[in-house]
Amino acid sequence: MHRVNILAGQVNTGAQVAPQTTGETITITDNRNGKQAVIPIQDNNIKAPDLKKLGLQSFDPGYMNTTCCVSRISFIDGGKGILRYRGIPIEVLATQSDFTETAFLLLRGELPTKPQLDEWKRDLMSHSMVHSDVATIISAFRYDAHPMGMFISAFAALGTLHPEQNPALTSQNIYDDFAVRNKQICRILGNATTIAAMVYRHRMGRPFNIPNSDLSYVENFLYMMDVYHEGTAFRPHPKLVKALDVLFLLHAEHELNCSTSAMRHLSSSGVDVYTSVAAAAGALYGPRHGGANEAVLRMLEKITNVDEFIDKVKNKKEKLMGFGHRVYKNYDPRAKIVRKIADEVFSVCGREPLIEIAMELEQKALNDEYFVKRKLYPNVDFYSGLIYKAMGFPTDMFPILFAIPRLVGWLAHWSEFLDDPDNKIYRPFQIYKGKVLEDYVPLDQRVSNNVDPKVLHVKRSAFNRRRDAALQQVKKGNDYEWNTDA
Ligand code: ACO
């Protein structure tokens, strides 16, 4: 078997490699042929292209140990349960900042001055009106279409309504112009809550509301969902505005998770930012990622006995949704804050009874060897769904409530990617284990093959039972008879 020995002892400065050190190397010996390569280490990473010196590539399905960019947006220490945006701890931002200011911090790299913040808020709110064609598109969906399907489609459509920013139609360097780039950032964030509110109202069978740009970002979102005849006199409850604002802040950015990687991946092809956002939202929707908040609630609703459910999880018959994380091997710091918000929301909207099951699950899982051994802790989605439910959001709206704030992170990474001198198109390799070279056998000479009939099975719609019965008849004169040969 081919083996490559990584001679850890030859790392010049020993095991503890500090970030941003230079001059360190690792020597790798290829035991197949004795070839050695001295490979530089930087920031505790080796560059995968350096492995080419030995004719090697690195194989990493699921990117379990792969770094694909340098970023300065957020920092996570999964072992210690630390999350910082641009260096500021998430706990500090959650108590002292708000979503709009934090969005500026993430996108621009610094906290805004007062005039910058005022202008940023104005820019966001002045982009809250969406093109009326988006309303037509959302209206064309069925009333029970999943909100994420509508949200994703609306963003893909939005790009077509603004062709002047599309690199495919204008210039591949169009986004180098910061004014153009910033216009898209403001429009995407400004339109997001309006689109989300339209999706919600469509689902409820209610007419759409026009944004009220005199309100704050989150206040206006609740306003657009909830106002009926009251007009601009309507004000969402401040405690709920605050709770949703903190939830938005906590969800705004989380480095290279599945959806942000998708955003960078799409952007690397040079496609327009609306298409990239639609794709990132698609990745977010999955139950292993941002769709977990919806999945947690559906799980809690069906649990009747916590001990039995935990046994099923341990026997791999169920998954404890809202638990586990690729990076956090400790309590997700966001989950701790979310848990506190729950009580605030319950004080206004009433206690969500599923919280009792959630707390029992959490307490039992945290003391169970299965979860302890695998370092599985509650993640941000474990309690957020309960808050959304208490606030009266339908379960299928939950991923949207994640997607709106995460647009900030996606756009911050998009912008960082555009400015990165290493921003090559994303194009990983594969290990090909298929047939090397095959003859093309003409159809009339093919008698059999190795295709398992099971993989050819296509689920048939129920109406085919009637159609098949009908088609089995043969016409005899003016009558039909059963075709007994069929
Ligand atoms: N319930 C039960 N077992 C779990 C769970 C869980 N939620 N999560 C991981 N495990 C187990 C796995 O079965 C595996 O066990 P094994 O060693 O016996 O095979 C072990 O823990 C390691 O899990 P992996 O799936 O290898 O971990 P990975 O880093 O690939 O996956 C993920 C992380 C996808 C988040 C996973 O923990 C999961 O599916 N959790 C539930 C969904 C969820 O809450 N997602 C939201 C994440 S936060 C976010 O995206 C915003």
How far lies 78's CA from each of 74, 204, 333, 363, in Å? Answer: 12, 40, 10, 21
CA dihedral 441, 447, 449, 454 (to 10 degrees): 130
Of all atoms in ligand 1, which is nearest to the CA of residue 402? Answer: 51
How remote is the CA of residue 449 from the centroid of ligand 1, in Å? 38
Per the listing, tokens 């994420």 go with 148
Residue 326 CB–ligand 1 contact under 6 Å: yes
Among 76, 251, 293, 319, name the best residue to mutate to test ligand 1's pocket (greatest count of ligand atoms within 8 A of Cβ).
Answer: 319
Distance CA 204, CA 138 (A): 13
Ligand 1 mean position, distance from CA 409 (Å): 23
How crowded is residue 247: how many other Cβ atoms within 10 Å of its Cβ? Answer: 26
Cβ of 297 below 6 Å from ligand 1: no
Q: Residue with structure tokens 């091997």?
A: 329
Q: What is the DSSP string of 298-366?
A: HHHHH-S-HHHHHHHHHTTSS--TTB--SS-SS--HHHHHHHHHHHHHHHHH---THHHHHHHHHHHHH
329 lines ligand 1 (CB under 6 A): no
| Mutation test residue for ligand 1: of 284, 288, 375, the one with most atoms within 8 Å of CB | 288
Two tokens, residue 332: 């997700």
CA distance 433 to 423: 30
Catalogue the E-assigned strands of 81-134.
82-85, 88-89
What pTM, to 2 d.p., does this model score?
0.91
pLDDT values of the chain reduced to their tens digit, one per residue, 486 residues: 344 444 333 333 333 334 455 689 999 999 999 999 999 999 999 999 999 999 999 999 999 999 999 999 999 999 999 999 999 999 999 999 999 999 999 999 999 999 999 999 999 999 999 999 999 999 999 999 999 999 999 999 999 999 999 999 999 999 999 999 999 999 999 999 999 999 999 999 999 999 999 999 999 999 999 999 999 999 999 999 999 999 999 999 999 999 999 999 999 999 999 999 999 999 999 999 999 999 999 999 999 999 999 999 999 999 999 999 999 998 899 998 998 899 999 999 999 899 999 999 999 999 999 999 999 999 988 999 999 999 999 999 999 999 999 999 999 999 999 999 989 999 999 999 999 999 999 999 999 999 999 999 999 999 999 999 998 888 888 888 777 665
Which atom of ligand 1 is closest in space to residue 313's alpha carbon? 2
CA of 374 relative to ligand 1 center, distance in Å: 9
Atom of ligand 1 nearest to the CA of 382: 44
Contacts of 79 (CB under 8 A, 6+ apart): 329, 330
Q: How far apart are CA 111 and CA 242, in angstroms?
A: 20
3-state secondary structure of 118: helix
Q: Please report, in angstroms and rounded to a whole number, the separation of the first and last CA atoms in the chain.
A: 55
Answer whether 321 contacts ligand 1 (Cβ < 6 A).
yes
The pair of structure tokens assigned to 451 is 């295709």
Q: What is the DSSP string of 29-43?
A: EETTT--EEEEEEET
Residue 298, both tokens: 């559906």
Helix or strand (DSSP H, E) at 474: strand 473-476
User: Which of 159, 101, 102, 107 minimizes the C-alpha distance to 130?
Assistant: 159
Catalytic residue positions, numbered: 289, 325, 381
